[in-house]
Amino acid sequence: MEAKKENCAVKTFTFMDESCGKAEPGQFVMVWIPGVDEIPMSLSAINPGGFTSITVHGVGEASRALNKKEKGDQIGIRGPFGNGFVPAGGNVMVVGGGTGLAPLLPLTENLVKVADKITLMCGAKCQDNLLFLDRVDRILSELDSETVFTTDDGSYGIECMVTDQVKQKLKKEKFDMIYTCGPEQMMYSMFLLAEQHNVPLQASLERIMRCAIGLCGSCQIGKLRVCKDGPVLNSEQLRSVKEEFGKFQLDLTGKRIKLQ
């Protein structure tokens, strides 16, 4: 296993796994950190040979313990699980917030082969949290594309929320599909905007996950289980859970709590 520091809180780990090499962008793996916990992580790079990456934001006990791992340390990988993004042709928009950009990169690599135009919108709190700038440049160099970067503090790109820029774009241009991953409030705003402009949306949701195969119920949202029906949900599925999407989630004990 290789490890690369992206910024003070985010690290990318690369390992060989044949099954992950065949995964769809948007699918996830359960990462076992021996003696600590097992947590869900999206694949941030997928290569047919099996070279696979995860990009981890240290937010709590398990993700911080994972980010202490170095080259040669051992972790366990279970998966890949769930349903990934379905690639669409035409004029597509990809909207990532913070580490949410991770699963959108392998997707964008696939979209380059089928889409006519890609508009990639990346938002983060500050410049340091805007990840993968070189990779974005490389991926989009082959196609008619537009990239917009926003930061909350104006340290890079436009000083605003990424959804403010999306709003402007949707007023001027007709899109055939929008893909999004990031903080749930951002994705909920994306859902409302996509509905308003009649554009289909695919969003990758996060919930507490334990079994990752649809059995334990810890990832329930409405009638859906995010690990099995998602993590990527389409507009129709998002409409069916709109009472909870952006508002509530289950905590570690299974209690319904307000989303932070």
Ligand X SMILES: Cc1cc2nc3c(=O)[nH]c(=O)nc-3n(C[C@H](O)[C@H](O)[C@H](O)COP(=O)(O)OP(=O)(O)OC[C@H]3O[C@@H](n4cnc5c(N)ncnc54)[C@H](O)[C@@H]3O)c2cc1C
Name the residues that contact ligand FES, by CB under 6 A.
209-212, 214-219, 225, 227
Nearest C-alpha neighbor of 125 from the set 204, 245, 7: 7
In whole angstroms, what is the distance from residue 18 CA to residue 247 CA?
37
CB of 25: closest distance to ligand X in angstroms? Answer: 12
212 binds, among ligand FES, ligand X, none (CB under 5 to 8 A by kind): ligand FES
112 binds, among ligand FES, ligand X, none (CB under 5 to 8 A by kind): none
- 40 lines the binding site for ligand X (CB under 6 A): yes
Per-position x/- string for 64-83, each x denoting binding to ligand X as judged by CB under 6 A, each - no binding? --------------------
For residue 106, cis peptide bond before it (omega within 30 degrees of 0): no
Nearer to ligand FES, 81 or 149 (CB): 81
Site for ligand X in 189-218 (CB under 6 A): 206-209
**The pair of three-digit structure tokens given for residue 152, joined into one six-digit string:** 């909350």
Q: How far is CA 221 from CA 30, 44, 96, 98, 241, in A?
A: 19, 24, 22, 23, 6
- 8 Å CB contact between 32 and 20: no
* Residues binding ligand X (CB under 6 A): 28, 37, 39-42, 54-57, 59-63, 99, 102, 206-209, 231, 260
